[in-house]
Amino acid sequence: MGTNVFPLAIAGAALLTLTIPGMAQAVTFFTNRPDWEAAVGRFTTETFDTPVANASVITFSTGVTSTGLGGSILNEIGGGTYQGRVDTSGNFPGRFREIRWVFPKPVFGLAADWIDVATGSGLTVSGNFDGSGIQTISFRDRLGSPGTGFLGIIGAASFSELVFREEVPVFGDIGDEFFQVDNLSTTVVPIPALLPGLIGLGMGIWRKRKEATID
């Protein structure tokens, strides 16, 4: 009788092997915070309540390190938001060419309230969101102009850093980009919906095997 039972653990392992490669190309975007929160389940949020003066390197209360490269303005926390300024084109020598955030632990999901990220040349953020290499996201494409609103992502693989740059290559050199961020939420846990799906499919396979054996 034991030989007629298809172990759920085996079904789950087989499905996991088949599912993960396909997911490696998927990055999910959210423009509604409750939907993102429901999708990730557990997360931590940086509210930027503690001011940090402008410097090339600052650290958020959640341990994220923000580093401005190639300039001296602007990388700070004030007025309840993170504030950054990037000029990738190099027309303004004092402004950072890019700003890099490094997380204390790799994250699978990230979300925030973005403020005025497309009032000048526009802003992009780059990261290895699906494990296949660096992808670049345009806030102008996702949020329009002036680029104020909620935007969250869930990657298909964990990623450890983000790089913010001015969107000069697409929109031409019309200045720089000042941007603000509030309520930065991250999760280090893979998508919780994956496991119930695997269990459900595994149980389905087990039932079919059992019914076929009984028949």
Amino acid 6: pLDDT? 32
Amino acid 7: pLDDT? 37
In the chain, the number of structural domains is 1
What angle, 0 to 180 degrees and rounded to 10, lies between the N-to-C axes of helices 8-23 and 194-214? 130
| pLDDT tens per residue across span 121-177 | 899 999 999 999 999 999 999 999 999 999 999 999 999 999 999 997 555 556 789
How much is the pTM?
A: 0.77
**pLDDT above 60: residue 107:** yes
| pLDDT tens per residue across span 40-71 | 999 999 999 999 999 999 999 999 999 999 99
Q: Are 181 and 48 in contact (CB under 8 A)?
A: yes
**Is residue 12 one of the residues assigned to a domain?**
no
Q: In the structure, what pLDDT confidence band is assigned to residue 211 with cuts at 50, 70 and 90?
A: low
**Is residue 5 one of the residues assigned to a domain?**
no
d(CA 5, CA 3): 6
> Can you tell me the mean pLDDT for 73-92?
93
Amino acid 89: pLDDT? 82
Longest dimension (CA), the chain: 77
- E strand residue ranges, 116-144: 123-127, 135-138
Amino acid 1: pLDDT? 38
Instruction: Tell me which of 51-65, 77-91, 180-194 is least confident.
Output: 180-194
Q: Are 33 and 151 in contact (CB under 8 A)?
A: no
d(CA 46, CA 159): 18
Q: What is the CATH number of the domain that holds 141?
A: 2.60.120
**Is residue 96 one of the residues assigned to a domain?**
yes
Q: Domain of residue 141: give its range.
A: 25-203
**Is residue 17 one of the residues assigned to a domain?**
no
**pLDDT above 90: residue 91:** no
Q: Is the peptide bond before 169 cis (omega within 30 degrees of 0)?
A: no
**Angle at CA 176, nearest 5°, toward 175 and 182?**
145
d(CA 179, CA 81): 10
Other Cβ atoms less than 10 A from the Cβ of 199: the count is 14
